[in-house]
């Protein structure tokens, strides 16, 4: 039985832990996360997410009896009954409490009602009253009642050997931001339906109400079935998932890219004539009517797959090739690249708005008025609609780092009638893990600047942007470019849930972070700040290893492997340990760090906590980082073995052969370990997702890369994690080393042995 036990003694029991010595240089980055929490609920041991707008503790306590009676309105709707069912399920599953339903409030222990409540905070607001005799959740609308139930479920605590209880309190709660969206990007992977539905439940628990799903080819478009990847969700499955989400008050918004980002469509030969540039599958020709015919079909499928949804998102960002094609070049001279973009978005929006959907686009408030050549705009990317006002009614969902403290541009766009979604700043596209605690800015191998992590960045963004009834929504993105496991994004998602609901609470970032770990994983979880910091650092070490940055950062040099021995006298060129001395030092450092990370994962896997699967994912990451560190040490050892063989060549042939065999064993063991680590990762990740790039009996996966050179799209399967290591060519090296060793034995060692006999 798990819940929110009192945290007075435990909430920061690890805050004063002596951090691994190698981490000391960024301890200052953790200081914002190591401060005692100050809010009344946190002091009372309650880890409620998101924090309510108004709360007052009364000093009373309600002890949950077993069995327990729940009263609902006699005219309760189906969604009200669903919310009630969720409460009953939680009480049964987590607390082993049986429940009965009634419409008689007087005899009930818990009352769920939509009568006798304030309506000024809209249909998402709710009130929750806990006395020693009863718990009452009241709301004016179905979403509010559901959110009140989600709050109640998080308030239940367990004492030491006592029955579950809820501290007495009065809550009035409502969201600062009406539409709270998570961007769910599955362009380079497909999660199972079971995982998707669990993900929806998790988001709903924290009051997220939109899931903007960028599914690309993970949906089997009935109008053009070849586009959907093998195993893609069918129309029926997507409709069922949409209705499932609606029960949890989560609206699924399909994001099917329009102008750019469309290689999943234009890679197919039958659509190549729709490309703006024939050599590139990245972008549609906006002057070709066939582009619209195809997109309108796909968007119609997407809307049919998401019945009841208010929005559709057509993306259309990163249009790198716009105006550079053989058919668009002249038109661009006439109306500009921005004019071409406007032509596409306006035509698309007009069509889609006729269906009743509101159209989201990656565009920024007033970006079309800003000249990046001015001082104010220096360093900002030019809006694709510069000098062309966007189509009326589109929803603006893009970032805009040029905003002023008084939200000047957002206010101007709002005054023009645009809906605005605040864009949670990009967390980055780093490999393996989200850079929560620190990020690196600048060239990876040139002493990059260490700056605040994405967690602190988002915290300050929400606190400064939301809470003034200016934004219609918030969108938190999770780009799949580098192929991170979706569970690594959960802290980011729930940070957005917390501060988009309540951007003005008194809680510190430290309190929220500690609260999140115990809310999501349970009170018995340990050392989470340390684990996330280790993975944050380790992911950068992994990313800076071998050629993993060539795909996005240009010329950074090539990693070589130690020289092979040659000729009878064992010639070779010793340079590797000199050239890569710094990487070897780092490898030793990260070997210790990943040993610690793996120990933390192991400790939590045997503890009584929730969401244990995450620790399998974290283990797979730590093992891969550890393997990367060991590979550097293997290469160092390999050169040392060859050096020793060289030194023994004219002293002791048996010793020479021994060191050649040691070199052989080093490479052989490295390859075996790589397979073991990779197989473990695949086994863990494919518990929640389909095999990447898989074929089915009905269909083969058609793999083709595009100009974005996404890290996760370097291979059709999960080998993108080890692809750069494969490029080292250790298999070929081992073959050559084996051949040399055997030849050396036959030509030099064996004749000597025969002679000595």
Please, what's the largest Cα pairwise distance for the chain? 105
Instruction: Say if residue 381's pLDDT is above 70.
Output: no
Tens digits of residue pLDDT in 688-741: 999 999 999 999 999 999 999 899 999 999 999 999 999 999 999 999 999 999
d(CA 539, CA 432): 6
Residue among 228, 188, 281 at smallest CA distance from 482:
188
Express the helix, strand and coil content of the chain in percent, nearest 5 each.
Answer: 45, 15, 40
Q: Rounded distance, CA 48 to CA 40, Å?
A: 11
Q: Compute the distance between CA of residue 362 and CA of residue 384 in angstroms, rounded to an integer.
A: 10
Spatial neighbors of 190 by CB under 8 A, at least 6 apart, are 218, 229, 231, 232, 233, 689, 690, 692
Peptide bond between residue 67 and the one before it cis (omega within 30 degrees of 0): yes
Give catalytic status of residue 318 as yes or no.
yes
Q: For residues 483 and 475, give the distance between their C-alpha atoms in angstroms, rounded to a whole number.
A: 20
Tokens matching residue 133: 């005799």
Identify the band that residue 389 occupies on the pLDDT scale cut at 50, 70 and 90.
confident
Q: Could you read off the pLDDT of 276-286 as tens digits, one per residue?
A: 999 999 999 99
Buried b or exposed e, range 314-325, using 16+ CB within 10 angstroms: bbbbbbebbbeb
Q: Which residue has tokens 């996966």?
A: 701
Instruction: For residue 452, give both structure tokens.
Output: 């605040």
Token match 């949804």: residue? Answer: 309
- pLDDT for the residue numbered 11: 37
- The pLDDT value recorded for residue 467 is 79
pLDDT value, residue 15: 36
Confidence (pLDDT) at 4: 45
Question: How many angstroms separate the Cα of 469 from the Cα of each of 458, 463, 554?
Answer: 19, 13, 43
Q: Does the pLDDT at position 376 exceed 90?
A: no
Distance from C-alpha of 280 to C-alpha of 39, rounded to nearest angstrom: 54
Token pair for 243: 């209705």
Choosing from 276, 283, 318, 529, the catalytic residue is: 318
pLDDT in tens, 154-200: 999 987 767 899 999 999 999 999 999 999 999 999 999 999 999 99
Is pLDDT above 50 for 662? yes
- The string of pLDDT tens digits covering residues 669-685 is 999 999 999 999 999 99
Give the separation between CA 451 and CA 439, rounded to whole angstroms: 5
Which pLDDT score, from 0 to 100, does residue 714 have?
93
Provide the pLDDT confidence category of residue 552 given band limits of 50, 70 and 90. low
- Taking only the tens place, the pLDDT of each residue in 237-292 is 999 999 999 999 999 999 999 999 999 999 999 999 999 999 999 999 999 999 99
Q: Which domains are delineated in the chain?
A: 21-48+54-173 (3.30.379.10), 183-509 (3.20.20.80), 536-756 (no CATH)
Q: What is the pLDDT of residues 577-620, one digit of tens each?
A: 999 999 999 999 999 999 999 999 999 999 999 999 999 999 99
What are the tens digits of pLDDT across the range 485-503? 999 999 999 999 999 999 9
pLDDT at 147 over 60: yes
d(CA 201, CA 703): 33
C-alpha distance across the termini of the chain, in Å: 75
Residue 387 zone, left/alpha/beta (φ > 0; ψ -120 to 50; rest) = left
Higher pLDDT, 399 or 704: 704
Predicted local confidence at residue 373, as pLDDT: 55
Nearest 5 degrees, angle CA 307-CA 311-CA 313?
115
How far, in Å, CA of 417 to CA of 429, rounded? Answer: 33
Highest mean pLDDT among 219-228, 455-464, 704-713: 219-228
Q: If DSSP codes are grouped into helix, strand and coil, which group holds residue 32? A: helix
Confidence of residue 445 (pLDDT cuts 50, 70, 90): low
Q: For the chain, what's the residue count?
A: 757
Q: Are 350 and 391 in contact (CB under 8 A)?
A: yes
Which H or E element spans position 463? helix 454-465
Query: Read out DSSP for 656-702?
Result: HHHHHHHHHHHHHHHHHHHHHHHHHHHHHHTTSBPPTT---SS----
Look at residues 284, 263, 276, 271 and name the one whose alpha carbon lies nearest to residue 223.
271
3-state secondary structure 40-100: HHHHCCCCCCCCCCEEEEEEEEEECCCCEEEEECCCCCHHHHHHHHHHHHHHHHHHCCCEE
- For the cut 50, the answer to whether the pLDDT of residue 417 exceeds it is yes
**Backbone phi and psi for residue 727, each to the nearest 5 degrees, phi listed first:** -65, -20
Q: How far is CA 114 from CA 141, 148, 176, in A?
A: 7, 11, 21
Phi, psi for 476 (deg, rounded to 5)? -115, 120
Whose tokens are 């340390």? That residue is 530
Mean pLDDT of the chain: 91
Q: Please write the tens of the pLDDT for every residue from 10-55.
A: 333 333 333 444 445 445 555 555 555 689 999 999 999 999 999 9
Side-chain-side CA neighbours of residue 183 (13 Å): 29
């Amino acid at each position: 039985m798990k819940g929110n036990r009192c945290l007075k003694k435990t909430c920061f029991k690890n805050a004063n832990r002596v951090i691994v010595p190698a981490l000391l240089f960024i301890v200052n980055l953790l200081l914002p996360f190591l401060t005692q929490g100050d809010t009344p609920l946190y002091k009372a041991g309650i880890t409620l997410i998101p924090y309510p707008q108004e709360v007052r503790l009364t000093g009373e306590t309600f002890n949950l009896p077993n069995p327990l009676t729940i009263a609902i309105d006699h005219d309760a709707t189906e969604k009200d009954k669903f919310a009630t069912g969720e409460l009953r399920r939680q009480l049964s599953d987590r607390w082993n409490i049986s429940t009965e339903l009634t419409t008689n409030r007087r005899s009930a222990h818990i009352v769920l009602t939509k009568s006798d409540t304030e309506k000024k905070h809209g249909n998402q607001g709710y009130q929750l009253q806990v006395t020693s005799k009863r718990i009452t959740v009241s709301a004016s609308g179905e979403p509010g009642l559901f959110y009140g139930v989600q709050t109640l479920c998080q308030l239940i605590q367990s004492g030491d050997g006592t029955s579950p209880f809820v501290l007495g309190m009065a809550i009035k709660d409502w969201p600062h931001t009406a539409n709270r969206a998570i961007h769910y990007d599955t362009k380079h992977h497909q999660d199972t339906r079971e995982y998707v539905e669990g993900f929806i439940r998790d988001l709903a628990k924290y009051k997220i109400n939109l899931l903007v799903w960028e599914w690309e080819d993970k949906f089997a478009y009935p109008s053009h079935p070849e586009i959907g990847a093998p195993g893609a969700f069918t129309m029926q499955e997507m409709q069922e998932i949409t209705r499932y989400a609606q029960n949890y008050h989560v609206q699924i918004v399909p994001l099917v890219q329009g102008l750019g980002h469309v290689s999943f469509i234009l890679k197919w030969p039958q659509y190549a004539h729709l490309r703006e540039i024939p050599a590139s599958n990245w972008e549609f020709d906006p002057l070709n009517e066939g582009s619209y015919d195809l997109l309108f079909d796909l968007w119609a499928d997407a809307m049919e797959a998401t019945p009841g949804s208010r929005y559709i998102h057509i993306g259309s960002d990163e249009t790198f090739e716009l105006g550079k094609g053989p058919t668009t070049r002249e038109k661009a001279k006439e109306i500009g690249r921005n004019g071409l973009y406007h032509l596409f978005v306006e035509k698309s929006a007009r069509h889609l708005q006729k269906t009743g959907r509101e159209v989201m686009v990656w565009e920024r408030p007033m970006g079309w008025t800003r000249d990046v050549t001015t001082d104010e705009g220096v360093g900002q990317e030019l809006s694709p609609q510069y000098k062309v006002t966007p189509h009326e009614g589109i929803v603006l969902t893009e970032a805009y780092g040029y905003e002023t403290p008084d939200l000047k541009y957002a206010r101007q766009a709002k005054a023009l009638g645009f809906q605005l979604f605040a864009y949670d700043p990009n967390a980055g596209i780093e490999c393996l893990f989200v850079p929560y605690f620190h990020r690196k800015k600048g060239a990876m191998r040139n002493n990059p600047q260490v700056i605040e992590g994405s967690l602190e960045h988002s915290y300050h963004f929400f606190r400064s942007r939301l809470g003034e009834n200016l934004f219609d929504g918030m969108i938190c993105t999770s780009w799949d470019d580098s192929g991170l496991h979706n569970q690594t994004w959960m802290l980011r998602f729930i940070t957005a849930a917390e501060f988009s609901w309540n951007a003005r609470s008194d809680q510190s970032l430290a309190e929220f972070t500690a609260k999140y770990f115990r809310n999501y994983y349970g009170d018995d979880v340990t050392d989470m700040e340390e684990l996330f910091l280790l993975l944050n650092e380790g992911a950068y070490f992994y990313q800076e290893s071998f050629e993993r940055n060539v795909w996005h950062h240009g010329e950074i040099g090539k990693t070589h492997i130690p020289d092979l021995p040659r000729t009878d006298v064992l010639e070779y060129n010793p340079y590797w340990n000199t050239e890569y001395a710094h990487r070897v030092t780092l490898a030793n450092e990260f070997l210790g760090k990943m040993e610690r990370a793996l120990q933390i994962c192991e400790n939590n896997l045997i503890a009584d906590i929730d969401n244990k699967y995450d620790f399998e994912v974290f283990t797979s990451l730590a093992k891969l980082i550890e393997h990367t560190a060991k590979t550097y040490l293997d290469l160092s050892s390999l050169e040392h073995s060859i050096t020793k063989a060289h030194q023994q060549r004219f002293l002791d042939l048996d010793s020479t052969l021994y060191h050649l065999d040691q070199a052989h064993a080093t490479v052989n063991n490295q390859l075996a370990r790589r397979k073991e680590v990779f197989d473990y990762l695949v086994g863990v990740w494919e518990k929640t997702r389909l095999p990447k790039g898989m074929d089915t009996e009905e269909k083969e996966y058609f793999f083709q890369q595009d100009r974005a050179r996404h890290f996760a799209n370097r291979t059709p399967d999960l080998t993108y994690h080890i692809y750069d290591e494969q490029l080292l060519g250790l298999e070929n090296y081992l073959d050559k080393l084996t051949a040399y060793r055997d030849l050396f034995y036959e030509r030099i060692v064996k004749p000597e042995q025969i002679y000595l006999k």
